Amino acid sequence: MARLVHSENLREASVAAVAVDEVYDGDGRLRQPEPTDRDFSRAIAKMGRGLKPRTVATYRPYLGAYWQLCLVRGAQLEDPALFRGYVLAVARNASRKPSASTLQVVCSAVAALLGSLALRSPLQDPATKHWLAVEMKTRTRRKPKRSDAILIEQITTAIASTEAMIAAGGTQRLRGLRDRALILLGWTCALRRSELVAVHRHHLKPTRVTKTKGWELVIPEAKTSLGEDQIIPVVRATTLRFDAIAAVEAWSAAATMRSTSPLFRRVLRDGSLGEEALNPAAVRGILRLHGLGEEFSPHSLRSGFVTQARLNGAANHQIRVITRHRSDTMVDIYTRQVDPDRQGPRALI
């Protein structure tokens, strides 16, 4: 990767030389303070009082590496030159250009920690802000193209693929039942992949409104909630083939799992199930296996629900009941343009 000397020579924006192996160990993991470092633990705990546990978990590895770097160098956390060198070391460690969001997480983590400790963050320095703007523009890859929406046409393709696996019997049948339930539940409830693999059987329960004969899905402390569970209605489909409830029931019966077990787990070669929930990264592979190519991502299930609902004439407030978005603006962002006749100027004529 070319060295960007122009940004390192910005006035008052000196950069300390930090080698990648000062930040990452031989296995590519961020170096961390000793477990006995109580100062670090207390600092993280203090920072965490104003943040969600998931945010703290995301920040902690980067903060640990920065803390350890400062200890080894005998430097202060507020040292702007060392902070810039740390950001560059994280960027240089990537096998390809990192996403801008990765470096933004690093910056947000350090700012949150120093803010909680009443220390001046390097990000408050105008020279550092300018330097970061240049680095993030030149060192990071462009924002990737938004993935396409998974609509009813793609769902039909995927379900046909799972049905073929189910018909094959044996271990293939189990995997087909699991994948069908995963795809339909993720699409019907507009779930993020992290939420989808975190579902346990006891999170799904019959709705209290008996006449609907549907379910409710409980999402414990969801991404956009403030320490509260979120409830998503799971409505039965008019066509059994696309019914998420029936798909989950069929998979649960075949897998004979406990109610407290993760709903979606690995199917081993001998037909037994792994103990742990699927890794969120596995969702992409499942979509690929069932005919949904590179243009689709796990988030396509969520954007696909929104887009299909809009095409079907649903109002934003109805969609937000499922997606849990707080504003119509976010619903608009998730809506993909897929049908010029129904979404473009022709729809006005």
User: What does each C-alpha distance from 340 to 327, 337, 343 come to in angstroms?
Assistant: 25, 7, 5
Q: What is the pLDDT of residue 123?
A: 82
Torsion-angle region of 291 (φ positive above 0: left; ψ -120 to 50: alpha; else: beta): left
Alpha helices in the chain (DSSP H): 5-8, 38-48, 53-73, 80-93, 100-116, 126-139, 152-168, 170-188, 193-197, 244-255, 282-289, 299-311, 316-323, 328-334, 340-343
Distance CA 296, CA 121 (A): 39
Q: What is the pLDDT of residue 260?
A: 81
Q: Which residues of the chain have pLDDT under 50?
A: 1-11
- pLDDT for 86-133, tens place per residue? 988 888 876 555 566 778 888 899 999 999 999 988 888 787 888 777
- pLDDT for 168-220, tens place per residue? 999 999 999 999 999 999 999 999 999 999 999 899 988 866 555 789 999 88
Q: What is the pLDDT of residue 234?
A: 93
Q: What is the pLDDT of residue 1?
A: 26
User: What does each C-alpha distance from 150 to 26, 215, 295, 319 come to in angstroms?
Assistant: 40, 23, 10, 16
Burial class of residue 289 (count of CB atoms within 10 Å of its CB; 0-12, 13-18, 19+): middle
The answer to whether the beta carbons of residues 15 and 88 sit under 8 Å apart is yes
